[in-house]
Amino acid sequence: MFKLMKLKDVVKIPPSMLGNPLEETAFKILREQYEGVIVPGIGFIISILDVEVSELGRIVPRDPFLYHPVVFKALVYTPLLHEVVEGEVTMVEEIGAFVRMGPIDGFMHKSQVYDDTFTYDRRQLAIIGMKSGKVLRKGDTVRARIMGISMELEKTRGLRIGLTARQAFLGKLEWIEEELKKLKARKTKSVSK
């Protein structure tokens, strides 16, 4: 879920930046400090949008920095358990597929792609259903449900999201359209009888 949040913090301004406008300096420092970072209880900070800096700062003895309280708006992505998301498959490997959901990737194990057994085809760089013949490859758009979330404080591997598409009306968008057409055809037949 994407949301705008209003957050408070204290910005540590180095002496080398004291000649610059206060708001510009605070904005630059906040962007470096927060953008692309996972904050526990808040989520993945995508962007800092607006900054209000108190003109009254604090000086600490034997510390050359100035400390100014700030209030800022941030665009945040917080994945929710059981949330339905859509994304593009960015990579397919032998164990499953990575799906880009806005600012982050989720992972869908090949056992969670469809109610079928999938095998990896190196030539096609795709996973293929053994019974259904359904193919999932890079560039496909899928709809999935978030089934697991792990937030770690490391920047590189901090947010891990597990996905599933083994429920009705989830999976590759073309597969969903096929299911809907079959349902409509069945309804039409039952109404005409």
Phi, psi dihedral angles at 186 (to 5 degrees): -65, -40
Mean pLDDT of 67-76: 95
Mean pLDDT of 14-30: 90
SS3 state at 59: strand
Quote the CA–CA distance of 25 and 18 in Å, as a whole number: 8
Q: Are 119 and 126 in contact (CB under 8 A)?
A: no
Fold of domain 84-174: OB fold (Dihydrolipoamide Acetyltransferase, E2P) (2.40.50)
For 40-51, how does the pLDDT look when each residue is reduced to its tens digit (9 = 90+)?
888 889 999 999
For 104-136, how does the pLDDT look when each residue is reduced to its tens digit (9 = 90+)?
899 999 999 999 999 999 998 999 999 999 999
Taking Cα atoms as reference points, which of 21, 131, 122 lies closest to residue 113?
Answer: 131
Q: Is the pLDDT of residue 154 over 60?
A: no
Q: Provide the residue ranges of all domains of the chain, joining segments of one domain with +.
A: 2-77, 84-174
Q: Please list, residue by residue across 41-77, b when 16 or more beta carbons sit within 10 angstroms of its beta carbon and e when fewer do.
A: ebbbbbebeebebeeebeeeeeeebbebbbebebbbb
The whole-number pLDDT of residue 156 equals 44
More confident site: 180 or 192: 180
What is the 3-state composition of the chain as percent helix, strand, coil, each rounded to the nearest 5? Answer: 20, 45, 35
Q: How confident is the model at residue 17 (pLDDT cuts 50, 70, 90)?
A: confident
Which helix (H) or strand (E) segment holds residue 22: the answer is helix 22-34
Taking Cα atoms as reference points, which of 171, 156, 169 lies closest to residue 110?
Answer: 171
The whole-number pLDDT of residue 43 equals 85
What CATH code would you report for 2-77?
3.30.1490.120
Read off the pTM. 0.76
Quote the CA–CA distance of 100 and 106 in Å, as a whole number: 6
Mean model confidence pLDDT for the chain: 90
The whole-number pLDDT of residue 158 equals 67
Q: Is the pLDDT of residue 152 over 70?
A: no
